[in-house]
Every structure is written in structure tokens, then in C-alpha cells.
Structure 1
């Protein structure tokens, strides 16, 4: 992982889409700070497409798509994208799975929930589980005392034994049934809504993240950035981001935004 300062000016100027994780990438210790939110707003006002790509639930994503300075949002680790048309006041929703599949998958996830909570003491349902449509989120440190890595791995193993996918974020283990992830839905959104094909995306999109569930994005996008707190998860990553910020969490995201805005305006670093 190279320092973000080594990103070339030509590469920075080519970027017109900012995809970003939310938890511990835009937020800091569970809070959306003024500086991080202002960074999102400045990017949006400068003409960048700004798209959070998060493990957070549909209920949150509806709010984010409507009320944040963003162009769309990918939620539940790729289960859907939402795009709010502010002129028409309509929400476009696209789900990976059909409604009947979602219902069947929920029954299987309910069984996993019971096994995890019975076999991994100290784990809990994520407090935002009630607002989820397609996945199951198990809290290992957001609203519960932090669990050791061995217990996090045990939670992952329960999902995988049941044939589900499981990804570790900075706060939750998210699991789901379906052949999708953050990357597959981000590519669908870019192509379907914004007309950006994969060849173009590799040069014009930057992705910012902080944890193992961002790994498909780090592997796919040549212009990928980890905020400094990704060091805590580096040993779990086979594919690391190309660049890393000096700042942690939201300050790291603001650092990336400042670099992109300077490059766009033609200011010298």
C-alpha cells in the first residue's frame, strides 16, 4: 500500500466517480463527523459521482439516498442499489434477488441466526437488523464488547457451513445467500444508471474502504484507497488497496477528497 500522496496527478484528474464504504471509512468511531460529511458534499458539488457502497441495511440506505449529497447507494454488501431522483421525487430500487428468493433466503438466515447466537457467546444481532432485507448482520464489536478474532471466525464458519457467503466488516459479520458482493452490484449500477462500462471504470473510479468486506473492490479497482485504520485488518486481506491515507476513518476520507478536489481545480499539491 503506497501513501496516497504518491497517486499521480494524471490519475487523480481522471477520476470522476468516488465509491466509498461508510463505517470507519466515512464515519469515525460510529459518528459522521462534520469534516467527512463536508467532504462528501464538496465532491458532489464539484461534479463527482459520489456513491456509498456499504454493508448497512435497506432502511438506512433509503435515508442516505434521499438526504445525503450522493448520487446513489449500494447496500447490504451488494444486495441492491437505490437511486433517488430529486426532481421527480421517486426512488429507483434494484435488487439482485427476486422477492420469492428473498423470502426463502430469510428463512435460511433465521436458522443461521439461531445457531450463531447459541454457539458464540457474546455475539448479538446487529442493532440495525430490523431494517435489513437480504442479509443477516452479527455484531461483534459495535454495540457489544469486542469479541476475539477466533469468535469472529466461528461466526463466519456457521454461515459458510450453511452455504451462505460471509464477509467481515469493521463491526459486523454480514452473511447472505446469493452470488453477489459489493463489486457486482457496483458494476451493475455504474453500467445501468450512469453508462460507465468496466474498461472506463478502471481509470475513472476510485474506491475507499477499511476492512475485509471491501476486498473485492480493492482487488478490482486499480485506484483503490484504504484509510489508515485498515492496518488493523491487513493480515486478513489477500488483496490490499493500492494506496493508503495518513488519516484514520473520516479524516482519511477527507484527505482523499481534498486531493481529488485539488487535482480537479488544477492546484499544485
Structure 2
């Protein structure tokens, strides 16, 4: 059962050195990055707490986020890549199990045609043009929203065609290759910073909002859902251990404020 973050102890919060976070409906509300969430990321950065965005969003978005947000890195396209900026230079790491981009694009086009044959109302997400390894099928980012039955049928077709498929709060994401958000996040933190996301003492938290965050909720000891995660309570397997009072970007800011207050307390 999810517990309010008010139940977190000062020692748990003070130990946090890294916050991994989803973007859509975790940092955003109604599709927009909130001022509160963005300010919280800057405050965490100033306090020496690394923020890593973990998202299904495309490589093109990740390039911009890694350059312009105060984040340590962006894991994108569901684990196919991680972009980070070091000393003014953008570094790109691609998962070795991801197909080369040309092969991936042909596989994704074939998959899209298979989906369209069975779900005529399906539509490709508007950000697909900047993706390298991932097919994003929009069901709730723009109107008209698709029915739950259509969403589940899209997911089933993708899996039948041999793709890995995940349902977020807005898209069905599908790709070919044995990689994941969790695997790439774990690899990046371990190789770059010697941090083990599975060990509580290493001070990692994860913040998310939907069923495709469940692998991260399961792996990271301090797992937090923003309040709108409750909308998926029957589909979460597992649910996060903790939940904020506010939803979306306000919920992320709420958790960040608790972490920053605990950090300030131990240094006062």
C-alpha cells in the first residue's frame, strides 16, 4: 500500500543524492512543464543532488533537455540511449542491444502498419519524427483520446509482432531490442558515478506516475508516485512505496522540498 511521503524519516530523505524522474505527468501538468517542477530541479541541482530524467520521449527531446535543463543526464526512448552534458560537451551513449537506426526505422514502420490494420483510429505521436529507436502511438496526448480497449489492442499487436511494448499515461511505446529504462539507468549510474540504484545506502529515489514506471518502482528502494499515480492503482505492479499529496509537477516539487529540507537540517 502506498504511504504518504509525510511518513518518510529525516534520515531517509537526507540520504538522497540522486533523483530519477519520469517527465510526462510527473514533471508536467496538461502537457506543460510546471514552474514548480522546473524550479525544484534547479534547487536540487544547487544543493548537489543529481536529477536524471527517465523517459519514453525521443532522442531529439533528450538532446535539448540534456543541454538546457540542470540535469545530470536524460535516459530516453525507454532505455535505448542516455545523453549527458559534460564541460559544455554533449555525450551520447546508445544501448548495445538497440538496432542500428536504419534497421530500427524499417522495423518500426512495419510494426506501425500492423497496428494500423487492426486499430484504424491509431495515430503516431507528433514527436515521432525525432525518434531513433522507438515507435510512439498517441492515445491521450492529443484529442480524440482512444478507448482503453483500443489501447490494449495496440499493445497486444505490438507484442504479437515481437516488439517490447509499454503503456504510459499518453502513449503506447514499442521497440525492438533487449533494453529498458531500468537497465540503462542502472548502467549509467554504476559506470559513471559508482552508484547502485538497488542499494538504499547509495541514496537513489525514483519519482513516477504510471504503470510503465513499475519496474523502476520495484527496483529503487525509495520509490515515489505523484498523486495521479492513484489513477492507475489497479494496473500498478508494483505500486510505489510512497505517494505525494499533489499530482504532476506539484507532486514532484513537494517531494523535492522534503528532500531539500532534510538536507538543510543535517547541515544546519
Whole-Å separation in 1 of the counterparts to 2:7 and 2:99: 48
CA contact (8 A) 2:198 2:221 kept: no
SS in structure 1 at match of 2:162 = coil
The equivalent residue for 1:34 is: 35
1:156-177 CA deviation, whole Å, 9 max, x = no partner?
0111001111001110000011
Q: CA deviation at 1:202?
A: 6.2
The equivalent residue for 2:190 is: 191
Q: CA deviation at 1:203?
A: 4.4
**Structure 1 gap ranges (5+):** none
The alpha-carbon distance between structure 1 residues 80 and 45, as it changes in their structure 2 partners (threshold 3 A), is same
The equivalent residue for 2:80 is: 79
Q: CA deviation at 1:122?
A: 2.5
Greater shift, 60-69 or 102-111, is seen at 102-111
CA contact (8 A) 1:203 1:223 kept: no
Whole-Å separation in 2 of the counterparts to 1:231 and 1:199: 24
Whole-Å separation in 1 of the counterparts to 2:155 and 2:98: 26
Whole-Å separation in 2 of the counterparts to 1:97 and 1:103: 15
| Equivalence map 1:18-97=2 (5 Å) | 18-85=19-86, 87=87, 89-97=88-96
The equivalent residue for 2:221 is: 222
Does 1:158 pair with 2:157? yes
SS in structure 1 at match of 2:195 = coil
Whole-Å separation in 2 of the counterparts to 1:185 and 1:98: 11
CA contact (8 A) 2:99 2:133 kept: no
Normalising by structure 2, what TM-score?
0.95
1:36-76 CA deviation, whole Å, 9 max, x = no partner?
11011101111001110011000000000000011111001
The equivalent residue for 2:238 is: 239
The alpha-carbon distance between structure 1 residues 198 and 250, as it changes in their structure 2 partners (threshold 3 A), is closer
Whole-Å separation in 2 of the counterparts to 1:10 and 1:254: 19
Q: CA deviation at 1:105?
A: 2.9
1:105-157 CA deviation, whole Å, 9 max, x = no partner?
32121111112223213221000000001110000011231111111100101
**Structure 2 gap ranges (5+):** none
1:220-255 CA deviation, whole Å, 9 max, x = no partner?
011000001011112111111000000010010000
Alpha carbon RMSD of aligned pairs, Å?
A: 1.5
